């Protein structure tokens, strides 16, 4: 009887066309499934908590797969180590492998997700964080952005922040929190902003569209009330730009223990 394994995965999304397996292009799912087959001789399908787009990164993505008994007993850390041996030198790492109950579902048992979006707010180009954050050159008003974000907390119709190709059955979602943290970036005036967004589930491009819209408030182009009006319009054309994929990180997927 196969064992169901839960994998916690870190990856740099810059080199991949998203999570989902595709023909003729590199994806995170493709590479991990190939590594598992190389290690175990078994062809498996990974089922993920939530697919990420091209360029999006993950600190702790979660997926599960069923594996038959190995030729010799292996501890969970040995399973992760073996898969990682076949993933190197790609920027994908299995940071935890765990045997779980046979009915565990990475997607359907998830109780929430935490995404972080990084903005680097300075004028000089980025030498170190290019590809890992969105650079915004105009100064951003932290308190105005925080005030705007309060309008999005709770249960709403998020059609304004929904991608046109989103396949979710309903545009209604619940945001538990949006925290905006301002940090010193380079010691000479540059700032880094973290937008930490938590909720049960999200629409396609929802976090990136929210950050793009809040950035308009930060630049003074919108007021916090303009963001609320955009939300109430339930119309994507009334929202702000879609923030680039490279600034988005899936930080954690929450499960009942």
Residues 99 and 76 sit within 8 Å (Cβ to Cβ) = yes
pLDDT digits (tens, 9 = 90+) for 202-230: 999 999 999 999 999 999 999 999 999 99
The last residue of one of the domains, among 79, 100, 121, is 100
Residues 82 and 149 in one domain: no
Residues 88 and 160 in one domain: no
Domain that holds residue 135: 112-255
Residue 85 in domain: yes
> What's the burial of 115, exposed, middle or buried (CB within 10 Å: 0-12/13-18/19+)?
buried
Residue 19 in domain: yes
Residues 57 and 19 in one domain: yes
- Tens-level pLDDT at each residue, the chain (257 residues): 899 999 999 999 999 999 999 888 999 999 999 999 999 999 999 999 999 999 999 999 999 999 998 888 899 999 999 999 999 999 999 999 999 999 999 999 999 999 999 999 999 999 999 999 999 999 999 999 999 999 999 999 999 999 988 888 999 999 999 999 999 999 999 999 999 999 999 999 999 999 999 999 999 999 999 999 999 999 999 999 999 999 999 999 999 97
CATH of the domain at 144: 3.30.70.660
* Cβ-defined contacts of 166-172 (< 8 Å, 24+): 166/203, 166/204, 166/205, 167/204, 168/203, 168/204, 171/203, 171/234
Residues 122 and 91 in one domain: no
Residues 120 and 195 in one domain: yes
pLDDT digits (tens, 9 = 90+) for 172-188: 999 999 999 999 999 99
Of the candidates 94, 86, 90, the residue with the CA atom closest to the CA atom of residue 40: 86
What average pLDDT is seen over the chain?
A: 96
196 assigned to active site: no
Residues 173 and 245 in one domain: yes
Integer Cα distance of 6 and 116 in angstroms: 23
Residue 32 in domain: yes
Domain count, the chain: 2
Q: How far is CA 95 from CA 123, 178, 236, 254, in A?
A: 36, 27, 37, 16
pLDDT reported for residue 112: 97
Residue 26 in domain: yes
Residues 121 and 44 in one domain: no
Residues 120 and 245 in one domain: yes
The catalytically annotated residue of 53, 157, 163, 226 is: 53
pTM above 0.85, yes or no: yes
Residues 239 and 139 in one domain: yes
Integer Cα distance of 34 and 89 in angstroms: 14
Residue 107 in domain: no
Residues 212 and 199 sit within 8 Å (Cβ to Cβ) = no
Residues 67 and 146 in one domain: no
Residue 148 in domain: yes
The last residue of one of the domains, among 100, 130, 161, is 100
């Amino acid at each position: 009887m196969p064992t169901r394994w839960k994998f916690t995965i870190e990856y740099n999304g810059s080199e991949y066309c998203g999570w989902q397996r595709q023909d003729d292009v590199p994806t995170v799912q493709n590479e991990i499934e190939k590594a598992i087959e190389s290690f175990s001789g078994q062809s498996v399908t990974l089922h993920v908590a939530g697919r990420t787009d091209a360029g999006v990164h993950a600190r702790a993505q979660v997926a599960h797969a069923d594996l038959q008994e190995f030729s010799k007993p292996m501890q969970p850390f040995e399973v992760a180590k073996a898969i990682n041996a076949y993933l190197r030198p790609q920027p994908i790492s299995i940071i935890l492998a765990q045997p779980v109950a046979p009915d565990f579902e990475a997607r359907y048992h998830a109780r929430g997700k935490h995404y972080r979006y990084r903005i680097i707010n300075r004028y000089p180009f980025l030498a170190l964080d290019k590809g890992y954050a969105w650079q915004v050159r105009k100064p951003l008003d932290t308190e105005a952005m925080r005030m705007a974000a309060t309008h999005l907390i709770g249960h709403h119709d998020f059609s304004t922040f929904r991608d046109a190709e989103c396949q979710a059955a309903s545009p209604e979602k619940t945001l538990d929190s949006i925290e905006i943290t301002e940090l010193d970036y380079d010691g000479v005036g540059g700032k880094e902003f973290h937008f930490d967004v938590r909720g049960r589930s999200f629409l396609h491009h929802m976090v990136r569209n929210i950050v793009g819209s809040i950035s308009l408030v930060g630049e003074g182009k919108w007021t916090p009330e303009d963001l609320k009006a955009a939300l109430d319009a339930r119309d994507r054309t009334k929202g702000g730009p879609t923030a680039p994929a490279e600034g988005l990180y899936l930080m954690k997927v929450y499960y009942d223990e």
